[in-house]
């Protein structure tokens, strides 16, 4: 599967490089991601005309074997809007035609690049959200992986690893 639905566990919302870097540092890093000779999506390889059509996508792994989960930032890539949206497809966004056609387009794109029927996509999404609900209940440690070097430029002490519990309403 080229692209999987994998919503970020709720306790980890806002844990992303952009949140943890000053704007100037983020801008510099963001620019370094672009290959201006080949502006294309890292997932579906679609070519785009402008850098602004590519969106930063952080690829995290989630290790839930221990008492606490460990979220590790594995890589950062640039992808098109449809792939970015596809990874975060929401249960409320599938299937139904809307006036804008934006969301059905994301669903169609997801099915096309994965060579997957809509029915198989629905099953995959159901499973993904079951996993997500389990992950929401965990305490997490954030591991910035090789990107911690980047954060070290700005912080004497890294803002991770940090343990934190899910918010009360999610438990």
41 contributes a contact to Zn ion by CB under 5 A: yes
Q: Which of 12, 21, 39, 43 binds Zn ion (CB under 5 A)?
A: 43
The yes or no reply on residue 71 touching Zn ion (CB under 5 A) is no
Smallest gap from residue 70 Cβ to Zn ion (A)? 28
CB of 136 to Zn ion, least distance (A): 27
Q: How far apart are CA 85 and CA 42, in angstroms?
A: 14
Q: Looking at beta carbons only, is 82 or 135 nearer to Zn ion?
A: 82
| Footprint (CB under 5 A) of Zn ion, residues 82-121 | 83
The CA distances from residue 43 to 1, 79, 99, in Å, are 10, 6, 27
29: three-class secondary structure by DSSP: helix
What residues form DSSP beta bridges with 143? Answer: 72
- Tokens found for residue 48: 């785009």
Residues forming contacts to Zn ion in the complex (CB under 5 A) are 41, 43-44, 46, 79-80, 83
């Amino acid at each position: 599967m080229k692209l999987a639905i994998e919503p970020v566990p709720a306790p980890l919302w806002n844990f992303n490089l952009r949140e943890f870097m000053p704007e100037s540092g983020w801008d510099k890093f963001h620019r370094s991601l672009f290959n201006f000779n080949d502006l294309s999506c890292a997932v579906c390889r679609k070519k785009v005309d402008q850098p602004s059509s590519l969106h930063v996508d952080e690829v995290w792994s989630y290790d839930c074997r221990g008492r606490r989960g460990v979220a590790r930032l594995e890589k950062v890539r640039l992808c098109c809007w449809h792939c970015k949206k596809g990874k975060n497809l929401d249960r409320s966004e599938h299937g139904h035609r809307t006036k804008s056609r934006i969301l059905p387009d994301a669903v169609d794109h997801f099915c096309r690049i994965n060579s997957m029927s809509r029915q198989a996509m629905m099953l995959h999404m159901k499973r993904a959200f079951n996993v997500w609900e389990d992950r929401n209940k965990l305490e997490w440690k954030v591991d910035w992986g090789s990107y911690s070097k980047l954060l070290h430029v700005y912080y004497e002490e890294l803002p991770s690893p940090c343990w934190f519990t899910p918010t009360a309403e999610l438990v």
